[in-house]
Amino acid sequence: MGGDNIYVAVNQDVRESKSTLLWTLKTLQVNKIFLLHVHLPFSLTTSSCGLTQGEIDAIQDSELKTSYRSLYTYRDLCIKEGVNEEDVDISLISGYGVGEGIVELIYENSIKKLVMGAAADPHYSRRMGITSRKAEYVLQHAPHSCKMWFICKGKLIQTREGSFDLGTPSDSFSEFSSSAEKPSKGRRRDEDEAESPKEQPGCILENEEAAKKVRIRKEPVTVKSKSNGSEAGSSPCSPPHDYKCPITLEIMEDPHVAADGFTYEKEAFREYLRTQAGKKKSPKTGEQLENDRLTPNHTLRIIIREWLEKHPNYTSD
């Protein structure tokens, strides 16, 4: 089979990078395709959030699992477009800014051909240039030997031809690593990124996450409840404590985070407030709540549903 080894940088939101991946599959002669993703973890602490360590672990593990699922969705799309499963590889690096992570992967894997987004699809216009800051960063700091295509809304915006001369980029990654301008590690979003907004608990995000590299394997990640050191759902009889509503003590179906930072079953929390005659006190701490707003805990709900799928015989006492 003719073709090249092509690397495609993809976003966690499949809607953001689907058109870029499809352009690659339909335009370039692909021998093997590598899906690259930079995972930006939320760094949370019990002191900043008011959440238990178990709840924090569940949120962080679920975020990572969401990234894995997105990569598997991209892989399935490649297979649907006619690429053999064994010719699709996926890898993830965690704890960096997106641009920095992509550049490190380019150096680490000696990538010669890379496709990535030039901007979010809603920003597409005729004769546009690269407007994504992370794409600009990669363009400036990637080695000259890497040929790059920048795509927006399934259309080629710019190409940088690979060069194999003896020269080195003025801002090579090795030089940049020791530079004072190096971006801080941890969660960061480009202003030009039109990602679907995520509803998160009312927590303060820390920027103390240590950089770590994670290589994806082709099997699901095992979520663990680090509060007790056992696999989430490893008990055949009872779910982890953090999956249960503090009010009903039953496993949650629609977990929401309240102003006190704790997660409750939505309707149980609403009913609790109705019995408080307007006092609005926290069911956990007894302290006055700043407001009665609830934020969906999407990540915990996903984990709970997966636990229930693995334990179909579970029934609450």
Which of the 8 DSSP states describes residue 156?
E
Tell me the torsion sign for CA atoms 171, 36, 13, 67: negative
Among 59-63, 156-160, 204-208, 302-306, which stretch is predicted with the lowest mean pLDDT?
A: 204-208
Check pLDDT > 80 for residue 284: yes
Phi-psi bin for 186: left (phi > 0), alpha (psi -120 to 50), beta? left
Q: Check residues 112 and 310 and name the one with the higher pLDDT.
A: 112
Please report the DSSP string for 97-147 in residue order: -HHHHHHHHHHHHT--EEEEESS-GGG--TT-----HHHHHHHHHS-TT-E
Check pLDDT > 50 for residue 294: yes
| Superfamily of structural domain 4-160 | HUPs (3.40.50.620)
What confidence score (pLDDT) does residue 83 get?
93
What confidence score (pLDDT) does residue 145 get?
93
- Which is it for strands 255-257 and 263-265: parallel, antiparallel or unpaired? antiparallel
- Output the pTM of the full model: 0.55
Q: How many residues are recorded in the chain?
A: 317
Asked whether the beta carbons of 115 and 149 are under 8 A apart, the reply is: yes
Determine the average pLDDT of the residues in 145-163: 93
pLDDT digit string, tens, across residues 3-16: 789 999 999 999 98
Phi-psi bin for 153: left (phi > 0), alpha (psi -120 to 50), beta? left
Residue 8: closest CA among 105, 114, 156: 114
- The Cα–Cα gap between 254 and 252 comes to 6
Check pLDDT > 80 for residue 231: no
- Quickly state the pLDDT bin for 219 (edges 50, 70, 90): very low
Which of the 8 DSSP states describes residue 249?
-
Q: Which range, 31-45, 102-116, 157-171, is most confident?
A: 102-116
Q: Name the residue with tokens 């995520």.
A: 198
What confidence score (pLDDT) does residue 200 get?
41
Phi-psi bin for 289: left (phi > 0), alpha (psi -120 to 50), beta? beta
Angstrom CA distances, 211 to 43, 100, 101, 116, 317, stand at 11, 11, 10, 23, 43
Written as six digits, the tokens of 6 are: 């092509």
- The Cα–Cα gap between 2 and 87 comes to 13
- Specify the 3-state DSSP secondary structure of 157: strand
Written as six digits, the tokens of 39 are: 């995972």
What confidence score (pLDDT) does residue 217 get?
32
pLDDT digit string, tens, across residues 76-128: 999 999 999 889 998 888 766 889 889 988 988 899 999 999 998 888 998 89
Written as six digits, the tokens of 191 are: 């202003």
- The Cα–Cα gap between 146 and 160 comes to 8
Overall CATH class of domain 241-310: alpha beta
Alpha helices in 212-313 (DSSP H): 266-274, 298-310
Check pLDDT > 90 for residue 226: no
What confidence score (pLDDT) does residue 64 get?
81
- The Cα–Cα gap between 101 and 36 comes to 10
Written as six digits, the tokens of 185 are: 């590690």
- Specify the 3-state DSSP secondary structure of 239: coil
Q: Where are the domains of the chain?
A: 4-160, 241-310
Asked whether the beta carbons of 16 and 120 are under 8 A apart, the reply is: yes
- Amino acid at position 93, single letter: I
Q: Check residues 123 and 174 and name the one with the higher pLDDT.
A: 123
Residue 114: closest CA among 173, 17, 176, 36: 36
Q: Check residues 54 and 266 and name the one with the higher pLDDT.
A: 266
